[in-house]
C-alpha cells in the first residue's frame, strides 16, 4: 500500500546531498596534500556538498564537524606534519567522543619508507575510530612511488565515498 513512497526516494537523496556539510582537515609539509584537498573540495562542491576547508583547523572545528575528512601526508619516520600533529595530540589528550560522526582519512606517503608508509594517515584513522567516529570508507593512501598526480586520482575516490556516506547516514538515521 505504501509502495508509492519509493517514488519520493530521489527527493530524500537530493535533500541529503544539499544539506550535508563536510569538513576537510589538512596536514602537509610540501603542499601535495593541499592540492589533493583542494581538488577534493572542488569535486564535492560540484556534487552539491558544502565544504569547510581547514589547514589544519582547531579542536573546536573538529568537534563541530558534521562529516570529517582528514587529508595528511607523513613526514619523519611515520610522523604527522607539525601543525596537524598539534591537532592530533589535542584530540588524543582531550578525547572528545565523536560518536557516529562519519569520517574518512586520505594519506599521502611513499612506500619506499617501508613500515612507516602512510603512518600519519594510519594514526589518524585509528584515533578517529577510538573516538567512536563512523568510518565511511577504508583509509586511502596515495603512494608517491605509484602516482605523481594524487590530486587527479582523488577524483575517482569521490563516488565511492559519496555512496558509502549515503549508506552510513541512512544507517544512522534509521537507528
Ligand atoms: C623527510 C621526509 C620524510 C618522509 N617520511 C615518510 C614516511 O615515514 N612514510 C611515508 O609514507 N612517507 C614519507 N615521506 C613521503 C611524503 O609523505 C610524501 O612525499 C608526500 O607526498 C608529501 O606530501 P606533502 O607535500 O603534502 O607533505 C617523507 C618525505 C620526506 C621529505
Distance CA 136, CA 126 (A): 13
Mutate to test the pocket of ligand 1, among 79, 84, 113, 139 (most ligand atoms within 8 A of CB): 113
Going from the Cα of 125 to the center of ligand 1, the distance in angstroms, rounded, reads 17
Closest to 106 in 3D by CA, of 166, 28, 46 = 28
Q: Where are the domains of the chain?
A: 22-166
Nearest CA to ligand 1 atom 31: 75
The pLDDT mean for the chain works out to: 92
* pLDDT tens per residue across span 72-105: 999 999 999 999 999 999 999 999 999 999 999 9
145-160 pLDDT per residue, tens: 999 999 999 999 999 9
Taking the C-alpha atoms of residue 24 and residue 57, their distance in angstroms, rounded to an integer, is 9
| Cβ neighbours of residue 109 closer than 8 Å, sequence gap 6 or more | 73, 74, 116, 117, 118, 119, 120, 121, 141, 142, 143, 144
pLDDT tier at 169, thresholds 50, 70, 90: confident
E strand residue ranges, 65-124: 68-73, 102-109
* Band (170; pLDDT cuts 50, 70, 90): confident
CATH number for the region 22-166 comes to 3.40.50.360
The pTM assigned to this predicted structure is 0.91
Amino acid at each position: 500500500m505504501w509502495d508509492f513512497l519509493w517514488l519520493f526516494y530521489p527527493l530524500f537523496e537530493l535533500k541529503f546531498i544539499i544539506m550535508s556539510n563536510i569538513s576537510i582537515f589538512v596536514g602537509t609539509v610540501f603542499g601535495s596534500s593541499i592540492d589533493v584537498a583542494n581538488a577534493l573540495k572542488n569535486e564535492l562542491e560540484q556534487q552539491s556538498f558544502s565544504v569547510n576547508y581547514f589547514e589544519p583547523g582547531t579542536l573546536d572545528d573538529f568537534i563541530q564537524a558534521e562529516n570529517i575528512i582528514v587529508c595528511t601526508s607523513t613526514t619523519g619516520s611515520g610522523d604527522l606534519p607539525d601543525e596537524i600533529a598539534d591537532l592530533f595530540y589535542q584530540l588524543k589528550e582531550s578525547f572528545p567522543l565523536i560518536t557516529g560522526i562519519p569520517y574518512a582519512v586520505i594519506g599521502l606517503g611513499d612506500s619506499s619508507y617501508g613500515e612507516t608508509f602512510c603512518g600519519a594517515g594510519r594514526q589518524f584513522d585509528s584515533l578517529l575510530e577510538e573516538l567512536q567516529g563512523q568510518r565511511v570508507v577504508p583509509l586511502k593512501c596515495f603512494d608517491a612511488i605509484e602516482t605523481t598526480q594524487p590530486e587527479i586520482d582523488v577524483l575517482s575516490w569521490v563516488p565511492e565515498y559519496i555512496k558509502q556516506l549515503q549508506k552510513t547516514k541512512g544507517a544512522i538515521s534509521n537507528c
